[in-house]
Amino acid sequence: MRIAMIGTGYVGLVSGACFADFGHNVTCVDRDAGKIASLLQGAMPIFEPGLDELVERNAKEGRLEFSTDLADAVKRSDVVFIAVGTPSRRGDGHADLSYVHGAAREIAAAIEHYTVIVTKSTVPVGTGDEVEKIVREFRPKADFAVVSNPEFLREGAAIGDFKRPDRIVIGAEDERAREVMSEVYRPLYLNASPLLFTQRRTAEMIKYAANAFLATKITFINEIADLCEKVGGNVQDVARGIGLDNRIGSKFLHAGPGYGGSCFPKDTIALMKTARDAGAPTRIVEAVVSVNDARKRAMADKIGAALGGNMQGKTVAVLGLTFKPNTDDMREAPSLSIIPALKDAGAKVNAHDPQGMEEAAALLPGVEMSKSPYDAAKGADALVIVTEWDAYRALDLSRLKQEMKSPVIVDLRNIYNPEEMAAKGFRYTSIGRPSAG
């Protein structure tokens, strides 16, 4: 199959490289000429484990190309994926579909033979109909189909997720397009990944329902963590105790500082808006959104409490800036709410992150970026773990203690054990677990 991937971001680049690895011929297109130029030189525009090797190998073997010329790529392809961004629209929170519509217009102008146009971007129900209308209006005689194929990969584990998905959802209205999509995903289907064919609108809804459900699960355990702090109990044991129940499942039950990232925040809000407009409000999702927003802000109060209630003139070391480990993605990261609140309360912040500091420096002016966790800890009155990078799981605690002004640790990811930390002389606070001692 010849595939064009429009949008070479986290989703487009990973999907394009994986499709090439299956043996398809893929052209990844982006209108960001800098991104394409660096890919042509073998440099990755994003950090994703394993991606550089996958891209290099498939480019070398001639199955993966990069270009800014959308029309040329579309003309040479049987299947054109739209993987452009769908951020929150300023002002009202609806998904901003301007990039999707723009791509649809450009694709329409270039189609020369039967082409399956596939929306991989996360888009509200009915967007496939709009894309079809745009293409039809531009090119009344064009031979094409529009399909929805939402993506479920997780940043940080994106290649594994793409190659071994729990399911592949394909929303298509006609048989010919379904056959083409079966061919695209044949290698995975042979590998026993289930292909779920649905109507196009259903596929669009599945993506939002999945993200809203996962965001709800995280928010639920976060509220249980707060309750454990008030009435006693250990949220990690509670999560294990409920997660071993197959009806509940153990994933997404880690209490923390609130979800962030490029998907859950914008997708929950977009679903909420769609539901309100349709007269069927999703009240659970609305509660999740407001509880999660409040939680991110409340984390600064938790840090303040660990510092005795006053942050004025105190130095706080923050470990972890990205919204989760193994990515450089800073979109909606909890650190972006927590750090400004610490600064507003009068604290000086030193930070460290294995991959996110370049991006974070632009978003967090006045924060000192440190070369190592120990550098960040120098002279600190408290150290806060915001993102659970592996590099923070086995810190040299004696060295850390020596560097710090006072041994106060606030672990927002529960990666250390309260008893051990107390035994080592730290004043240690975590999420939803009793402090030792």
Ligand X SMILES: NC(=O)c1ccc[n+]([C@@H]2O[C@H](COP(=O)([O-])OP(=O)(O)OC[C@H]3O[C@@H](n4cnc5c(N)ncnc54)[C@H](O)[C@@H]3O)[C@@H](O)[C@H]2O)c1
Catalytic residues: 263
Name the DSSP class of 143. Answer: -
Name the DSSP class of 174. Answer: S
Residues from 32 through 91 that contact ligand X (CB under 6 A)? 32, 35, 70, 83-86
Rule CB under 6 A: say whether 122 interacts with ligand X.
Answer: yes
Residues 6+ away with beta carbon under 8 Å from 209:
271
Compute the Cα dihedral for 118, 124, 129, 131 and give only its sign: negative
CA 148, chain centre distance (Å): 20
Would you say 51 or 263 has its CB closer to ligand X? 263
Would you say 85 or 320 has its CB closer to ligand X? 85
The residue range among 57-65, 148-156, 296-304, 332-340 that interacts with ligand X, by the rule CB under 6 A, is 148-156
Candidate list 11, 172, 342, 421; residue touching ligand X; CB under 6 A = 11
d(CA 325, CA 155): 9
Candidate list 8, 115, 216, 236; residue touching ligand X; CB under 6 A = 8
Rule CB under 6 A: say whether 135 interacts with ligand X.
Answer: no
Would you say 149 or 292 has its CB closer to ligand X? 149
Candidate list 3, 4, 5, 7; residue touching ligand X; CB under 6 A = 7
- Residues near ligand X (CB under 6 A), total: 28
Rule CB under 6 A: say whether 10 interacts with ligand X.
Answer: yes
Residues from 255 through 294 that contact ligand X (CB under 6 A)? 262-263
Would you say 92 or 179 has its CB closer to ligand X? 92
Residue with tokens 């002389």: 425
Residues 6+ away with beta carbon under 8 Å from 435:
418, 422, 428, 429
Tokens of 178: 């379904």
Would you say 19 or 99 has its CB closer to ligand X? 99
Neighbours of 22 (CB within 10 A): 19
Amino acid at 369: M
Tokens of 436: 């030792």
Tokens of 394: 């086995």
Shortest spacing between CB 119 and ligand X, in angstroms: 9
Shortest spacing between CB 111 and ligand X, in angstroms: 15
Shortest spacing between CB 425 and ligand X, in angstroms: 40
Residues from 332 through 391 that contact ligand X (CB under 6 A)? none
Would you say 103 or 235 has its CB closer to ligand X? 103
Classify each residue of 111-129 as buried b or exposed e, where b means 16 or more C-beta atoms within 10 Å of its C-beta.
beeebbbbbbbbbbbebbe
- Comparing every residue's Cβ against ligand X, the nearest one is 9
d(CA 339, CA 297): 10
The residue range among 23-31, 139-147, 215-223, 405-413 that interacts with ligand X, by the rule CB under 6 A, is 23-31
d(CA 149, CA 113): 21
d(CA 292, CA 168): 29
Q: Is 170 left (phi over 0), alpha (psi -120 to 50) or beta?
A: beta
Shortest spacing between CB 368 and ligand X, in angstroms: 28
Which residues are at the interface with ligand X (CB under 6 A)?
A: 6-12, 29-32, 35, 70, 83-86, 99, 102-103, 106, 121-122, 151, 153, 155, 262-263
